[in-house]
Amino acid sequence: MTGPGHDEDDEGGVFGANEQNDIDIDVTRYVRLARVVLESERVTLDAEMSLLFVDEATIAELNERFLGYEGPTDVLSFPMDDELPPAGRQPDQGGRGPGSPADPGEPPSVLGDVVVCPAVAGRQAQERGATLDDEMSLLVVHGVLHLLNYDHAEPEETALMRRREQELLAKFREAEERS
């Protein structure tokens, strides 16, 4: 747990960074949680995503810029497009240069970014009578599931997503207890 810009972790295709200093958080722990979600959802091992922890001003700006809502929110997910640039040199798509293998490897699948605001999570935890860790964990799972096309626009989708969130949180807690 360090200050903004200093907490970076990359575990199994999940990059985590703490870009806020309102609340001390264990970025490594939440990166592990995101990895559990990806593994449980059978996402390929080469998939990549970012998990960013930001202050209220930053998440408010993102919320307005990309969703058109004013003010801070707890979590935002930004899924990437499915289309990846073709392998090879740009712009001519020619060879890869001397000493390179003839066939380029497949680029990793980029899932997108999950952005969490610990300050908002802290207020929500107090309102719900939950711990900050429980609230943050739920937001991380929720955000990652959004990257994986889960949604809650319809009642059936909401029920499925909430059930899956609880299953994944329980799985993570069990894994932590075994460690």
* Residues 98-117 pLDDT 10s: 454 555 556 668 999 999 99
Residue 87 pLDDT exceeds 80: no
Q: Where are the domains of the chain?
A: 7-83+109-178
**pLDDT tens, residue by residue, 142-167:** 999 999 999 999 999 999 999 999 99
| 86 or 175: which leads in pLDDT | 175
CATH number for 7-83+109-178: choose from 3.40.50.300, 3.40.50.1820, 3.40.718.10, 3.40.390.30.
Answer: 3.40.390.30
Q: Are 44 and 10 in contact (CB under 8 A)?
A: no
Q: Tell me, what's the pLDDT at 46?
A: 87
Output the six-digit token pair for 46.
């080469």
Output the six-digit token pair for 72.
């801070």
How many other C-beta atoms can be found within 10 angstroms of the C-beta atom of residue 58? 16
Q: Cα 151–152–155 angle (5° rounding)?
A: 135
Distance CA 49, CA 34 (A): 9
Structure letter (DSSP) for residue 81: P
Residue 129 pLDDT exceeds 90: yes
**pLDDT tens, residue by residue, 27-54:** 999 999 999 999 999 998 889 999 999 9
Concatenated DSSP letters for 37-48?
HHHHTT--TT-E
Q: Tell me, what's the pLDDT at 119?
A: 98
Residue 139 — pLDDT band, cuts 50, 70, 90? very high
pTM value is: 0.82
